[in-house]
């Protein structure tokens, strides 16, 4: 929901930073893979209850994820780069709830519920993109992407807000997880309704 609102604010500094990185010879795919490694490190830190470090690594993961797209566009984006980006995003989105589930036995059920809601949201997102591509549909609401991004209540920004809140207040993980899982469920229902109208 907030991705398209924040895009005009975050794109200019990310584009400037990408131009600097481009001079170093670092590839967009290298940034994507580094971001995934950092995300897994964030989950490991959270699992060991080092929530401050986990928070810092979550933020670094998102920074790297924000930079790989502009860098790819400067150098010439590829289908493989777009594929790698979304795969690494989903690895990150799964790893963080897993980290919280491993940190405390009481977190296991809410972490599983959150992961299940992410599976539903991810499936509704990717299935929508497949049909949209088949129909030649395009959107730039979330920026210049490799494929169609179906919006919803739960998008990248909202997910990061939930992760940040959980790192800041790990004792409230269950409430945060159940609340965000409900938002993801509403997102799935919204995408199904949109698909019914448009497909």
Which residue do the tokens 């810092």 mark? Answer: 56
- Number of Cβ within a 10 Å radius of residue 132: 19
User: Using CA atoms, how far apart are residues 54 and 173, in angstroms rounded to an integer?
Assistant: 14
Question: 3-14: b or e for each residue (b if 16 or more CB lie within 10 Å)?
Answer: bbeebeeeeeeb
Residue 155 has φ and ψ, to the nearest 5°, of -125, -165
- Residues of the chain with pLDDT > 90, as a percent, come to 65
40/135: higher pLDDT = 40
Q: Mean pLDDT throughout 175-188?
A: 97
pLDDT of residue 53: 98
What domains appear along the chain, each with residue ranges and CATH number?
3-198 (1.20.120.1760)
DSSP per-residue letters across 149-178:
----SS-HHHHHHHHHHHHH-GGGHHHHHH
- pTM beyond 0.85: the answer is yes
């Amino acid at each position: 929901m907030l991705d398209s609102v924040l895009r005009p604010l975050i794109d200019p500094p990310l584009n400037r930073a990408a131009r600097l990185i481009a001079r170093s010879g670092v590839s967009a795919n290298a940034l994507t893979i580094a971001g995934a490694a950092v995300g897994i490190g964030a989950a490991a830190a959270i699992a060991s209850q080092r929530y401050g470090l986990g928070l810092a690594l979550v933020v670094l993961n998102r920074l790297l994820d924000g930079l790989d797209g502009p860098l790819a566009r400067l150098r010439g984006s590829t289908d493989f780069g777009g594929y790698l980006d979304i795969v690494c995003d989903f690895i990150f989105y799964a790893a963080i709830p897993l980290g919280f589930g491993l940190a405390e036995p009481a977190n296991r059920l809410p972490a599983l519920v959150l992961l299940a809601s992410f599976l539903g949201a991810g499936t509704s997102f990717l299935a929508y993109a497949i049909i949209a591509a088949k129909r030649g549909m395009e959107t730039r609401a979330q920026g210049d992407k490799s494929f169609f991004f179906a919006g919803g209540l739960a998008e990248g920004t909202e997910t990061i807000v939930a992760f940040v809140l959980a790192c800041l207040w790990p004792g409230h993980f269950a409430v945060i997880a159940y609340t965000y899982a409900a938002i993801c469920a509403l997102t799935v229902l919204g995408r199904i309704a949109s698909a019914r109208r448009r497909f």
